[in-house]
Protein backbone atom coordinates (compact mmCIF):
# COMPACT_ATOMS: atom_id res chain seq x y z
CA UNK A 1 0.00 0.00 0.00
CA UNK A 2 1.24 3.46 -0.85
CA UNK A 3 1.92 5.70 2.16
CA UNK A 4 -0.76 8.31 2.80
CA UNK A 5 -0.33 11.54 0.89
CA UNK A 6 0.88 14.43 3.00
CA UNK A 7 -0.10 18.00 2.26
CA UNK A 8 0.42 21.15 4.23
CA UNK A 9 -2.73 23.23 4.49
CA UNK A 10 -2.88 26.88 5.47
CA UNK A 11 -5.29 27.19 8.40
CA UNK A 12 -6.09 30.77 7.41
CA UNK A 13 -7.00 30.45 3.74
CA UNK A 14 -7.05 26.74 2.96
CA UNK A 15 -4.24 26.85 0.39
CA UNK A 16 -2.24 23.64 0.03
CA UNK A 17 1.51 23.21 -0.32
CA UNK A 18 3.56 20.05 -0.87
CA UNK A 19 6.08 20.99 1.82
CA UNK A 20 6.11 23.03 4.99
CA UNK A 21 6.82 26.74 4.67
CA UNK A 22 7.02 29.43 7.31
CA UNK A 23 4.67 31.66 5.38
CA UNK A 24 1.66 30.80 3.24
CA UNK A 25 2.43 31.66 -0.37
CA UNK A 26 -1.23 32.46 -1.04
CA UNK A 27 -2.41 34.67 1.81
CA UNK A 28 0.90 35.59 3.41
CA UNK A 29 -0.06 34.38 6.91
CA UNK A 30 2.89 33.35 9.06
CA UNK A 31 3.22 29.92 10.61
CA UNK A 32 -0.21 28.83 9.42
CA UNK A 33 0.69 25.65 7.51
CA UNK A 34 -0.29 22.42 9.21
CA UNK A 35 0.44 18.91 8.05
CA UNK A 36 -2.64 16.97 7.01
CA UNK A 37 -2.70 13.42 5.77
CA UNK A 38 -5.46 11.50 4.20
CA UNK A 39 -5.99 7.97 5.39
CA UNK A 40 -5.99 6.62 1.87
CA UNK A 41 -4.65 8.35 -1.23
CA UNK A 42 -7.68 7.83 -3.45
CA UNK A 43 -10.13 9.15 -0.86
CA UNK A 44 -7.86 12.13 -0.33
CA UNK A 45 -7.83 12.85 -4.03
CA UNK A 46 -11.62 12.78 -4.13
CA UNK A 47 -11.93 15.06 -1.14
CA UNK A 48 -9.28 17.47 -2.39
CA UNK A 49 -11.15 17.87 -5.66
CA UNK A 50 -14.14 18.81 -3.51
CA UNK A 51 -16.34 16.43 -5.46
CA UNK A 52 -16.59 12.91 -4.15
CA UNK A 53 -17.64 11.10 -7.27
CA UNK A 54 -20.98 9.67 -6.23
CA UNK A 55 -21.94 12.13 -3.50
CA UNK A 56 -23.42 14.65 -5.89
CA UNK A 57 -25.81 11.94 -7.04
CA UNK A 58 -27.98 12.72 -4.03
CA UNK A 59 -28.43 16.26 -5.29
CA UNK A 60 -29.33 15.86 -8.90
CA UNK A 61 -32.29 13.97 -10.19
CA UNK A 62 -30.83 13.64 -13.67
CA UNK A 63 -27.69 14.76 -15.37
CA UNK A 64 -29.48 17.04 -17.84
CA UNK A 65 -30.24 20.72 -17.44
CA UNK A 66 -33.78 22.04 -17.16
CA UNK A 67 -35.46 24.99 -18.83
CA UNK A 68 -36.04 27.83 -16.36
CA UNK A 69 -39.82 27.62 -16.72
CA UNK A 70 -39.82 23.88 -16.13
CA UNK A 71 -38.29 24.20 -12.71
CA UNK A 72 -40.99 24.23 -10.09
CA UNK A 73 -41.09 27.31 -7.96
CA UNK A 74 -40.43 26.09 -4.49
CA UNK A 75 -42.34 28.12 -2.03
CA UNK A 76 -41.83 25.56 0.62
CA UNK A 77 -43.11 26.93 3.88
CA UNK A 78 -40.46 27.97 6.34
CA UNK A 79 -40.32 26.02 9.54
CA UNK A 80 -40.59 28.02 12.71
CA UNK A 81 -37.93 27.41 15.34
CA UNK A 82 -40.49 28.44 17.93
CA UNK A 83 -38.28 31.38 18.92
CA UNK A 84 -39.55 34.51 17.20
CA UNK A 85 -36.30 36.46 17.31
CA UNK A 86 -34.37 33.51 15.86
CA UNK A 87 -36.89 33.13 13.02
CA UNK A 88 -36.58 36.83 12.28
CA UNK A 89 -32.81 36.58 11.81
CA UNK A 90 -33.27 33.61 9.52
CA UNK A 91 -35.60 35.68 7.35
CA UNK A 92 -38.84 34.18 8.67
CA UNK A 93 -37.93 30.68 9.81
CA UNK A 94 -35.81 27.72 8.81
CA UNK A 95 -35.82 26.86 5.11
CA UNK A 96 -36.16 23.07 4.59
CA UNK A 97 -32.87 21.51 3.51
CA UNK A 98 -30.80 24.55 4.40
CA UNK A 99 -27.42 24.49 6.11
CA UNK A 100 -27.01 27.16 8.77
CA UNK A 101 -23.85 28.12 10.61
CA UNK A 102 -24.16 29.77 14.02
CA UNK A 103 -20.86 31.32 15.06
CA UNK A 104 -19.92 32.91 18.34
CA UNK A 105 -17.39 33.06 21.14
CA UNK A 106 -17.26 30.29 23.72
CA UNK A 107 -19.77 30.74 26.52
CA UNK A 108 -21.93 33.24 24.68
CA UNK A 109 -24.96 30.94 24.64
CA UNK A 110 -24.96 29.06 21.34
CA UNK A 111 -25.71 25.68 22.85
CA UNK A 112 -28.40 27.20 25.05
CA UNK A 113 -30.16 28.91 22.15
CA UNK A 114 -30.04 25.83 19.95
CA UNK A 115 -31.26 23.51 22.67
CA UNK A 116 -34.21 25.83 23.25
CA UNK A 117 -34.90 26.00 19.52
CA UNK A 118 -34.51 22.22 19.23
CA UNK A 119 -37.05 21.63 21.99
CA UNK A 120 -39.63 23.95 20.39
CA UNK A 121 -39.00 22.47 16.97
CA UNK A 122 -39.31 18.89 18.25
CA UNK A 123 -42.59 19.67 19.95
CA UNK A 124 -44.17 21.57 17.04
CA UNK A 125 -42.70 20.05 13.88
CA UNK A 126 -40.89 16.77 14.32
CA UNK A 127 -38.00 14.89 15.90
CA UNK A 128 -34.70 16.69 16.30
CA UNK A 129 -31.22 15.17 16.48
CA UNK A 130 -28.83 17.15 18.68
CA UNK A 131 -25.31 15.83 18.15
CA UNK A 132 -22.73 17.23 20.52
CA UNK A 133 -19.01 16.72 20.51
CA UNK A 134 -18.55 18.99 23.48
CA UNK A 135 -20.91 17.74 26.13
CA UNK A 136 -22.13 14.36 27.27
CA UNK A 137 -25.78 13.39 26.98
CA UNK A 138 -26.13 13.90 30.75
CA UNK A 139 -24.77 17.41 30.57
CA UNK A 140 -27.13 18.31 27.74
CA UNK A 141 -30.01 16.76 29.64
CA UNK A 142 -29.32 18.73 32.79
CA UNK A 143 -29.12 21.93 30.76
CA UNK A 144 -32.41 20.97 29.11
CA UNK A 145 -34.02 20.44 32.51
CA UNK A 146 -32.95 23.94 33.45
CA UNK A 147 -34.49 25.28 30.26
CA UNK A 148 -37.76 23.51 30.95
CA UNK A 149 -37.54 20.90 28.19
CA UNK A 150 -40.26 18.33 28.99
CA UNK A 151 -39.55 14.58 29.06
CA UNK A 152 -42.08 13.91 26.29
CA UNK A 153 -40.17 16.06 23.74
CA UNK A 154 -38.99 13.97 20.73
CA UNK A 155 -35.44 15.28 21.05
CA UNK A 156 -32.61 12.81 20.38
CA UNK A 157 -29.24 13.49 22.00
CA UNK A 158 -26.04 12.03 20.60
CA UNK A 159 -22.62 12.60 22.13
CA UNK A 160 -20.49 11.79 19.12
CA UNK A 161 -17.64 13.34 17.18
CA UNK A 162 -17.34 10.99 14.22
CA UNK A 163 -19.04 12.48 11.17
CA UNK A 164 -19.72 9.13 9.56
CA UNK A 165 -21.50 7.86 12.67
CA UNK A 166 -23.56 11.04 12.97
CA UNK A 167 -24.59 10.62 9.33
CA UNK A 168 -25.64 7.04 9.99
CA UNK A 169 -27.78 8.23 12.85
CA UNK A 170 -29.35 10.91 10.61
CA UNK A 171 -30.14 8.26 8.01
CA UNK A 172 -31.66 6.01 10.67
CA UNK A 173 -33.73 8.61 12.52
CA UNK A 174 -34.69 10.85 9.58
CA UNK A 175 -35.13 13.81 11.93
CA UNK A 176 -36.84 17.07 10.98
CA UNK A 177 -33.83 19.08 12.15
CA UNK A 178 -30.19 18.28 12.88
CA UNK A 179 -27.91 20.29 15.18
CA UNK A 180 -24.15 19.73 15.21
CA UNK A 181 -22.45 21.27 18.24
CA UNK A 182 -19.76 22.07 17.09
CA UNK A 183 -18.24 21.77 13.64
CA UNK A 184 -14.76 22.10 15.14
CA UNK A 185 -15.11 19.03 17.33
CA UNK A 186 -16.24 16.54 14.67
CA UNK A 187 -13.89 14.56 12.47
CA UNK A 188 -14.06 12.30 9.47
CA UNK A 189 -12.25 8.97 9.47
CA UNK A 190 -11.02 9.82 6.00
CA UNK A 191 -8.50 12.27 7.40
CA UNK A 192 -5.86 11.77 10.01
CA UNK A 193 -5.61 15.42 10.94
CA UNK A 194 -7.03 16.63 14.23
CA UNK A 195 -10.63 17.83 14.60
CA UNK A 196 -10.82 21.58 14.04
CA UNK A 197 -8.13 21.62 11.35
CA UNK A 198 -9.19 23.15 8.09
CA UNK A 199 -9.36 19.83 6.23
CA UNK A 200 -11.68 18.34 8.84
CA UNK A 201 -13.86 21.43 9.09
CA UNK A 202 -14.25 21.56 5.33
CA UNK A 203 -15.05 17.88 5.17
CA UNK A 204 -17.64 18.25 7.95
CA UNK A 205 -19.28 21.19 6.21
CA UNK A 206 -19.49 19.39 2.84
CA UNK A 207 -20.71 16.11 4.32
CA UNK A 208 -23.47 17.82 6.26
CA UNK A 209 -24.31 19.92 3.23
CA UNK A 210 -24.93 16.78 1.20
CA UNK A 211 -26.97 15.29 4.00
CA UNK A 212 -29.05 18.47 4.33
CA UNK A 213 -29.71 18.93 0.62
CA UNK A 214 -29.95 15.25 -0.24
CA UNK A 215 -32.46 14.35 2.47
CA UNK A 216 -34.02 17.81 2.78
CA UNK A 217 -33.20 18.00 6.47
CA UNK A 218 -32.30 21.48 7.73
CA UNK A 219 -29.03 21.38 9.63
CA UNK A 220 -27.52 23.89 12.03
CA UNK A 221 -23.77 23.85 12.63
CA UNK A 222 -22.24 25.56 15.62
CA UNK A 223 -18.91 27.25 14.89
CA UNK A 224 -16.41 28.79 17.25
CA UNK A 225 -14.87 32.12 16.44
CA UNK A 226 -11.23 32.91 16.93
CA UNK A 227 -10.10 35.72 19.20
CA UNK A 228 -10.05 38.27 16.38
CA UNK A 229 -13.68 37.54 15.63
CA UNK A 230 -13.30 35.44 12.48
CA UNK A 231 -15.00 32.09 12.24
CA UNK A 232 -12.43 29.39 12.80
CA UNK A 233 -12.13 27.18 9.75
CA UNK A 234 -12.30 30.42 7.80
CA UNK A 235 -13.89 31.25 4.49
CA UNK A 236 -14.35 27.64 3.41
CA UNK A 237 -17.24 27.34 5.81
CA UNK A 238 -18.92 30.57 4.84
CA UNK A 239 -18.95 29.59 1.19
CA UNK A 240 -20.45 26.19 1.80
CA UNK A 241 -23.36 27.08 4.07
CA UNK A 242 -26.57 28.90 3.09
CA UNK A 243 -26.76 31.13 6.12
CA UNK A 244 -24.16 32.47 8.52
CA UNK A 245 -25.42 33.78 11.83
CA UNK A 246 -23.18 35.51 14.28
CA UNK A 247 -23.95 35.39 17.99
CA UNK A 248 -22.59 38.49 19.69
CA UNK A 249 -22.68 40.15 23.03
CA UNK A 250 -20.53 40.59 26.05
CA UNK A 251 -20.38 37.81 28.52
CA UNK A 252 -20.72 40.33 31.32
CA UNK A 253 -23.90 41.82 29.90
CA UNK A 254 -27.07 39.81 29.97
CA UNK A 255 -28.23 40.65 26.48
CA UNK A 256 -27.17 38.88 23.31
CA UNK A 257 -27.55 39.74 19.65
CA UNK A 258 -27.86 37.24 16.81
CA UNK A 259 -27.07 38.75 13.43
CA UNK A 260 -27.33 37.36 9.91
CA UNK A 261 -23.98 37.85 8.18
CA UNK A 262 -24.88 35.92 5.05
CA UNK A 263 -28.29 34.63 4.10
CA UNK A 264 -29.29 33.03 0.82
CA UNK A 265 -32.92 33.16 1.91
CA UNK A 266 -33.34 36.53 3.56
CA UNK A 267 -31.98 39.96 4.35
CA UNK A 268 -28.51 40.25 5.86
CA UNK A 269 -27.79 42.25 8.97
CA UNK A 270 -31.20 41.20 10.28
CA UNK A 271 -30.99 41.20 14.03
CA UNK A 272 -32.51 39.26 16.92
CA UNK A 273 -32.09 40.42 20.49
CA UNK A 274 -32.10 38.10 23.51
CA UNK A 275 -31.56 38.33 27.20
CA UNK A 276 -29.72 35.57 29.08
CA UNK A 277 -31.68 34.63 32.17
CA UNK A 278 -31.37 31.87 34.76
CA UNK A 279 -33.68 29.74 32.63
CA UNK A 280 -32.13 30.31 29.22
CA UNK A 281 -32.43 32.97 26.56
CA UNK A 282 -35.49 35.16 26.45
CA UNK A 283 -36.43 37.10 23.32
CA UNK A 284 -36.46 40.87 23.74
CA UNK A 285 -39.40 42.31 21.89
CA UNK A 286 -38.45 45.96 22.34
CA UNK A 287 -34.66 46.36 22.06
CA UNK A 288 -34.79 50.17 22.07
CA UNK A 289 -36.28 50.07 25.54
CA UNK A 290 -33.51 47.71 26.68
CA UNK A 291 -30.67 49.76 25.23
CA UNK A 292 -31.94 53.06 26.62
CA UNK A 293 -33.01 51.69 30.00
CA UNK A 294 -29.95 52.84 31.90
CA UNK A 295 -29.57 56.22 30.28
CA UNK A 296 -29.11 59.03 32.75
CA UNK A 297 -30.84 62.37 32.10
CA UNK A 298 -28.82 65.52 31.65
CA UNK A 299 -25.32 64.00 31.31
CA UNK A 300 -22.97 65.59 28.78
CA UNK A 301 -21.47 63.28 26.17
CA UNK A 302 -24.54 61.21 25.49
CA UNK A 303 -26.59 61.12 22.28
CA UNK A 304 -29.41 58.83 21.17
CA UNK A 305 -29.05 57.33 17.72
CA UNK A 306 -31.79 55.73 15.61
CA UNK A 307 -29.97 52.99 13.75
CA UNK A 308 -31.43 50.35 11.48
CA UNK A 309 -30.28 46.75 11.59
CA UNK A 310 -31.73 44.77 8.69
CA UNK A 311 -35.36 45.83 8.70
CA UNK A 312 -35.47 46.78 12.34
CA UNK A 313 -34.97 50.26 13.78
CA UNK A 314 -33.27 50.36 17.17
CA UNK A 315 -32.45 53.29 19.41
CA UNK A 316 -29.06 53.14 21.10
CA UNK A 317 -27.12 55.50 23.30
CA UNK A 318 -23.78 56.74 21.98
CA UNK A 319 -21.49 57.94 24.75
CA UNK A 320 -18.36 60.04 24.44
CA UNK A 321 -15.82 61.18 26.97
CA UNK A 322 -13.22 63.79 26.12
CA UNK A 323 -10.55 64.41 28.73
CA UNK A 324 -7.18 66.12 28.78
CA UNK A 325 -4.44 63.75 27.74
CA UNK A 326 -1.78 63.16 30.36
CA UNK A 327 0.65 61.54 27.98
CA UNK A 328 2.23 62.91 24.85
CA UNK A 329 0.07 60.80 22.58
CA UNK A 330 -3.65 61.55 22.67
CA UNK A 331 -5.67 58.30 22.78
CA UNK A 332 -8.69 57.63 20.61
CA UNK A 333 -10.76 54.64 21.62
CA UNK A 334 -13.93 53.40 19.96
CA UNK A 335 -16.07 50.56 21.22
CA UNK A 336 -19.06 49.63 19.06
CA UNK A 337 -18.14 52.06 16.28
CA UNK A 338 -15.31 51.85 13.79
CA UNK A 339 -12.03 53.26 15.07
CA UNK A 340 -10.96 54.84 11.77
CA UNK A 341 -14.43 56.31 11.30
CA UNK A 342 -13.99 57.98 14.70
CA UNK A 343 -10.64 59.49 13.67
CA UNK A 344 -12.24 60.84 10.52
CA UNK A 345 -15.15 62.40 12.43
CA UNK A 346 -12.79 64.01 14.95
CA UNK A 347 -10.83 65.56 12.08
CA UNK A 348 -14.07 66.93 10.62
CA UNK A 349 -15.02 68.34 14.03
CA UNK A 350 -11.67 70.11 14.34
CA UNK A 351 -11.58 71.48 10.84
CA UNK A 352 -15.25 72.27 10.17
CA UNK A 353 -16.71 72.98 13.58
CA UNK A 354 -13.69 74.61 15.19
CA UNK A 355 -13.42 72.17 18.09
CA UNK A 356 -9.89 71.72 19.36
CA UNK A 357 -9.16 68.12 20.33
CA UNK A 358 -5.41 67.98 19.79
CA UNK A 359 -4.40 67.48 23.42
CA UNK A 360 -7.40 65.36 24.41
CA UNK A 361 -8.13 61.69 24.83
CA UNK A 362 -11.41 60.75 23.15
CA UNK A 363 -13.40 57.66 24.13
CA UNK A 364 -16.58 56.64 22.32
CA UNK A 365 -18.78 53.75 23.36
CA UNK A 366 -22.18 52.39 22.41
CA UNK A 367 -23.93 51.59 25.66
CA UNK A 368 -25.00 48.00 26.16
CA UNK A 369 -22.37 46.42 23.93
CA UNK A 370 -24.12 47.02 20.58
CA UNK A 371 -22.07 47.48 17.41
CA UNK A 372 -23.21 49.95 14.77
CA UNK A 373 -21.52 49.92 11.40
CA UNK A 374 -23.73 52.14 9.28
CA UNK A 375 -22.64 55.72 8.47
CA UNK A 376 -25.94 57.00 9.85
CA UNK A 377 -24.22 56.82 13.24
CA UNK A 378 -21.79 59.63 12.32
CA UNK A 379 -23.90 62.52 13.53
CA UNK A 380 -24.57 60.87 16.89
CA UNK A 381 -20.82 60.36 17.47
CA UNK A 382 -20.11 63.96 16.53
CA UNK A 383 -22.91 65.18 18.80
CA UNK A 384 -21.75 63.10 21.76
CA UNK A 385 -18.12 64.22 21.39
CA UNK A 386 -19.08 67.90 21.04
CA UNK A 387 -21.42 67.62 24.00
CA UNK A 388 -18.60 66.23 26.14
CA UNK A 389 -16.13 68.89 24.99
CA UNK A 390 -18.53 71.72 25.80
CA UNK A 391 -19.76 69.91 28.91
CA UNK A 392 -23.38 70.53 27.96
CA UNK A 393 -25.97 67.80 27.77
CA UNK A 394 -28.26 67.30 24.79
CA UNK A 395 -31.98 67.61 25.43
CA UNK A 396 -33.21 64.32 26.91
CA UNK A 397 -35.94 63.73 24.33
CA UNK A 398 -33.78 64.44 21.26
CA UNK A 399 -32.59 61.74 18.86
CA UNK A 400 -30.14 62.06 15.95
CA UNK A 401 -29.04 60.28 12.81
CA UNK A 402 -27.14 61.23 9.65
CA UNK A 403 -23.92 60.66 7.75
CA UNK A 404 -21.13 63.23 8.03
CA UNK A 405 -19.03 63.99 4.94
CA UNK A 406 -15.44 65.20 4.90
CA UNK A 407 -16.42 68.77 4.13
CA UNK A 408 -18.68 68.79 7.14
CA UNK A 409 -21.88 68.28 5.17
CA UNK A 410 -24.67 66.12 6.57
CA UNK A 411 -25.69 63.51 4.03
CA UNK A 412 -29.02 61.78 3.67
CA UNK A 413 -29.28 58.16 4.74
CA UNK A 414 -31.65 55.29 3.88
CA UNK A 415 -34.79 54.28 5.77
CA UNK A 416 -35.33 57.61 7.50
CA UNK A 417 -39.11 57.15 8.00
CA UNK A 418 -38.49 53.87 9.83
CA UNK A 419 -36.07 55.57 12.21
CA UNK A 420 -38.41 58.47 12.81
CA UNK A 421 -41.31 56.15 13.60
CA UNK A 422 -39.25 54.25 16.18
CA UNK A 423 -38.08 57.46 17.86
CA UNK A 424 -41.65 58.77 18.01
CA UNK A 425 -42.85 55.48 19.48
CA UNK A 426 -40.19 55.70 22.15
CA UNK A 427 -41.43 59.16 23.12
CA UNK A 428 -38.80 61.39 21.50
CA UNK A 429 -40.09 64.83 20.54
CA UNK A 430 -37.22 66.20 18.47
CA UNK A 431 -35.03 64.59 15.83
CA UNK A 432 -31.97 66.29 14.36
CA UNK A 433 -31.38 64.66 10.98
CA UNK A 434 -30.15 65.27 7.40
CA UNK A 435 -32.04 68.02 5.61
CA UNK A 436 -32.36 65.75 2.58
CA UNK A 437 -34.39 63.24 4.60
CA UNK A 438 -37.00 65.68 5.91
CA UNK A 439 -40.31 65.27 4.12
CA UNK A 440 -42.61 68.28 4.55
CA UNK A 441 -45.74 66.27 5.33
CA UNK A 442 -44.10 63.77 7.65
CA UNK A 443 -46.56 62.11 9.94
CA UNK A 444 -44.17 62.48 12.86
CA UNK A 445 -44.82 66.20 13.11
CA UNK A 446 -48.46 65.50 13.80
CA UNK A 447 -47.44 63.32 16.72
CA UNK A 448 -45.76 66.30 18.31
CA UNK A 449 -42.28 65.35 17.11
CA UNK A 450 -40.23 68.11 15.57
CA UNK A 451 -37.95 67.16 12.66
CA UNK A 452 -34.94 69.45 12.42
CA UNK A 453 -33.24 69.09 9.04
CA UNK A 454 -29.58 70.18 9.03
CA UNK A 455 -27.05 70.62 6.20
CA UNK A 456 -23.73 70.98 8.01
CA UNK A 457 -22.04 69.82 11.20
CA UNK A 458 -22.02 73.40 12.49
CA UNK A 459 -25.75 73.73 11.94
CA UNK A 460 -26.34 70.38 13.65
CA UNK A 461 -24.35 71.37 16.72
CA UNK A 462 -26.16 74.72 16.91
CA UNK A 463 -29.41 72.81 17.06
CA UNK A 464 -28.20 70.23 19.53
CA UNK A 465 -26.00 72.14 21.94
CA UNK A 466 -27.30 75.65 22.04
Which stretches of the chain bind ligand TYD, using CB under 6 A?
104, 106-112, 143, 146-147, 276, 278-280
CB atoms within 10 A of CB 198: 24
Contact 268/374 with Cβ under 8 angstroms?
no
What DSSP string describes 244-313? EEEEE--TTSSEEEEEEEEETTS-TT-EEEEEEETTEEEE-S-HHHHHHTTPPTT-TTEEEEEEEETTEE
107 binds, among ligand TYD, Mg ion, none (CB under 5 to 8 A by kind): ligand TYD
Write down the least CB distance from residue 105 to ligand TYD, Å.
7
The nearest distance, CB 174 to ligand TYD, in angstroms, is 26
Closest approach of ligand TYD to the CB of residue 111, in Å: 3
Q: Does 263 bind Mg ion (CB under 5 A)?
A: no
Partner from Mg ion, ligand TYD, none contacting 463, C-beta within 5 to 8 A by type = none
What is the DSSP-derived secondary structure letter of residue 232?
S
Give phi and psi for 87, each to the nearest 5.
-60, -40
Contact 325, 361 (CB under 8 A): yes
Question: 104 vs 287, which CB is nearer to Mg ion?
Answer: 104
Minimum CB–partner distance for residue 143 and ligand TYD (Å):
5
Separation between Cα atoms, residue 115 and residue 111, nearest integer Å? 6
Nearer to ligand TYD, 185 or 319 (CB): 185
Query: 366 preceded by cis ω (within 30°)?
Result: no
Biggest CA-to-CA distance, the chain: 83
Should residue 111 be labelled a site residue for Mg ion when binding is judged by CB under 5 A?
yes
Instruction: State in angstroms the smallest separation of the CB of 449 from ligand TYD.
Output: 38
Which is closer to ligand TYD, CB of 140 or CB of 204? 140
Output the smallest distance, CB 228 to ligand TYD, in A: 18
Q: Is 277 exposed, middle or buried (0-12, 13-18, 19+ CB in 10 A)?
A: exposed
278 binds, among ligand TYD, Mg ion, none (CB under 5 to 8 A by kind): ligand TYD
Q: Which stretch binds Mg ion (CB under 5 A): 105-113, 116-124, 204-212, 255-263?
A: 105-113
Q: By CB under 5 A, which span of 79-87, 107-115, 257-265, 329-337 interacts with Mg ion?
A: 107-115
Q: Which residue from 391, 403, 388 is spatially nearest to 460, judged by alpha carbons?
A: 403
State the residues that interact with Mg ion by CB under 5 A.
111
Amino acid sequence: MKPPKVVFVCQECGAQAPKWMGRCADCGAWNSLVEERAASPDLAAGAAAGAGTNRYAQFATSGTSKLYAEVETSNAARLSSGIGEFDRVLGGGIVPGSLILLGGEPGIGKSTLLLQAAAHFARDIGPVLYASGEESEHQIKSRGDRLGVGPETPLYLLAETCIERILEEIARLKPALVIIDSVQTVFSIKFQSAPGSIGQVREAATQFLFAAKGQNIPTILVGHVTKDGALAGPKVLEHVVDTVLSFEGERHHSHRVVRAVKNRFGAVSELGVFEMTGTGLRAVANPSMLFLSERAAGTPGSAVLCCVEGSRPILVEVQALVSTSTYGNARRMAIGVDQSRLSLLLAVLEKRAGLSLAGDDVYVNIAGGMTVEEPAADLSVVAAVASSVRNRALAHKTAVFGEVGLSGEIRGIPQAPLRIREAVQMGFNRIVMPFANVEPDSAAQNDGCELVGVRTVGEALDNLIA
